[in-house]
Structure formats: C-alpha cells, structure tokens
Structure 1
Amino acid sequence: MTTLYIDADACPVKAEAERVATRLRVPMVLVCNGGIRPSANPFVTLKVVPDGPDEADKWIAAECGAGDVVVTSDIPLADRCLKAGAQVIQPNGEVLTLANIGGRLATRDLMQDLRAADPFLQGKGGGFGKAERAQFLQSLDRVMAAAMRAV
C-alpha cells in the first residue's frame, strides 16, 4: 500500500497533501520534532521523533520504500528516499528522480560552500503563493497516481 510521508517541520503544503491523501484514501504520515498539532483526519498520523539534527530525515528514510511518496525540500533526504525506491516531490511541485538528484546534490553542496565562504551571501527564495500550491497539487496527483499503480 502507498503511504505519503511528509517531512513536516517546515513544509508549507501539509494541508494540500492532506486533501490529496484523503481523496485517494491513502495513509499520510507527518514526521516532525514536535510543535505540529495532530490532525483529526483518520488518514493522517503524526510521528514525533526525538530532538536532534536529521532525526525526522533518518526516520523517513528508514520507513519509506517502493510505492511510497515523500514530500521534502531536503535534498540529501530525497536522495536516500529515491535510493529506497520511493518517489519524491518538493513542496514547489518539482519531482526529484534518480536522474536529476545528482545535479541537485552538487548544486546544494556548491551553494553550501559559497555560503560558508561568504556569510553575507543570501539565497533568493521567492514567495510561496497560490501558483506554487497549484503546481504542487498537480505534481502530487500525478506522482501519487504513478505510485499507486506501481504497488
């Protein structure tokens, strides 16, 4: 059975993902270090992991597998989930695959090095509005349908 895992601590599309999971009748697991209110939705489970760096990532990577879908903006976590056989989508709707994750990891590492060399270098993060949420919903529908067919 397909499960939808959400790297929930900083995820801006939890409500949209919950609507899709409910419509498709797929279990959804919100994974966080705490501070998120449990949902009354019977399809949604809240998994609170211990405090510490990457504890949520470790738990998701250990639990996900073929036929599952993971929503995360964490590139190293996405890489681990893809290698476990899960499908990965970012909150902006971009689908990550084994074919494109290598470039994303390299870009992430480069930017991390640049920020370390110049602490005043800031990212150019844009806003997150209706267009980004719509893109996420379209992509999630497509990815969930593919994952459910694969099971």
Structure 2
Amino acid sequence: MSESFQPITIYVDADACPVKPEIYRVAERHGVKVFVVSNAFMQVPQSPLIERVVVSAGFDAADDWIAERAGRGAVVVTADIPLASRCVKAGAEVIGPTGKPFTEASVGMALATRNLMEDLRAMGEVSGGPKPFSAKDRSVFLSALDVAINRLKRAGFGN
C-alpha cells in the first residue's frame, strides 16, 4: 500500500490513560481510527472510528499488541516508557498523557531515568509516584495530539 493511502491510526494504552475522552474528540474531528487497548473490558463511545481491544491479562499483553502494530502513520498514547521506546523505534509518533512527545532523542533518557527511579524506590530512597494529573496536562496533551496528526497528514498519511 502506498504511503499516501495509509490511514492515520491512534493506539491507546488504555488501562491507566486519563485522556481517553480527549482522544475520542480529536479522532472524531480528524476522522482517525482509534484502537483502545486494555486488559479488561472498558466502555468506549459507539463510533465506527473507535474500536475496543481487550487482550489477555498476561504481563505486557496490551503493550505487545500495540507494539506489533505501531509504525509510520500511527500515534501511540502511553505513559509506559518501554512501550514508548518500542513504538518510537518502529517509526510511530508517541505522546504521553501529559502531552510530552517521546522521540528518539528523549526516549533513551526517559528509560534511564525510569530505571534509576525504580532502583531508588527499591532501596527505599524515593517514595510516592508522579505528580497528580492536571487540567494543564490535559490541554497540553490535546495540543500535542493535534500537532502529531497534522504532521502525519502533511507527510502524506490520512484517510
């Protein structure tokens, strides 16, 4: 299939994703297909553009499903840094729920930071998790998703 006829697709790592309603709105506006991937049944809007995918409860089953399909012309929404790394390497646009894009340049540092924080937590040096999700994060995410879809359209992807 030639690239100019390859549709844009959004893959959502949905289990802990706080921006699903925003993704649905942007997808409807752009006419883009969304796959909402989770380990358990999840309500999604009735729309031909939105498809629920329930994978097995196996460790990383949702990540593997997304990573096997993500590539050029795809936007992946995830906070999971190893998944983000796999998808960036496959050529996908990857955005965190706070709107932070993952790139070749940033994903290596994000993985290193994640591993360091994991080690520090295991040693009891660090407690607590990420800061609470904010309205500003939601707004930045909406803008980043719009930018990613428009960039793909300019690159010849689309419906």
Contact map agreement 1:39 1:46 (CA 8 A) in 2: no
Structure 1: 5+ residue stretches without partners: none
Contact map agreement 2:27 2:49 (CA 8 A) in 1: yes
Q: Secondary structure at the match of 1:99?
A: helix
CA distance in 1, matches of 2:70, 2:87: 7
* Distance apart, 1:136 and its partner CA: 0.6
Normalising by structure 2, report the TM-score: 0.90
Q: Deviations over 1:86-130 (max 9, x none)?
A: 010000000110011110010001011111111x73235222232
| Equivalent in the alignment of 2:115 | 109
- Give the one of 43, 53, 56 matched to 2:59: 53
Percent identity, aligned pairs only, is 47
Corresponding letter in the other structure for 1:55: A
| Equivalent in the alignment of 1:73 | 79
Contact map agreement 1:2 1:69 (CA 8 A) in 2: yes
Q: Secondary structure at the match of 1:100?
A: helix
Contact map agreement 1:94 1:139 (CA 8 A) in 2: yes
Q: How many positions carry a matched residue from both structures?
A: 150
CA distance in 2, matches of 1:116, 1:60: 29
CA distance in 1, matches of 2:114, 2:120: 10
Q: Secondary structure at the match of 1:122?
A: coil
- Give the one of 133, 144, 149 matched to 2:149: 144
Normalising by structure 1, report the TM-score: 0.95
CA RMSD of aligned residues (A): 1.2
CA distance in 2, matches of 1:44, 1:52: 24
Q: Secondary structure at the match of 2:85?
A: helix
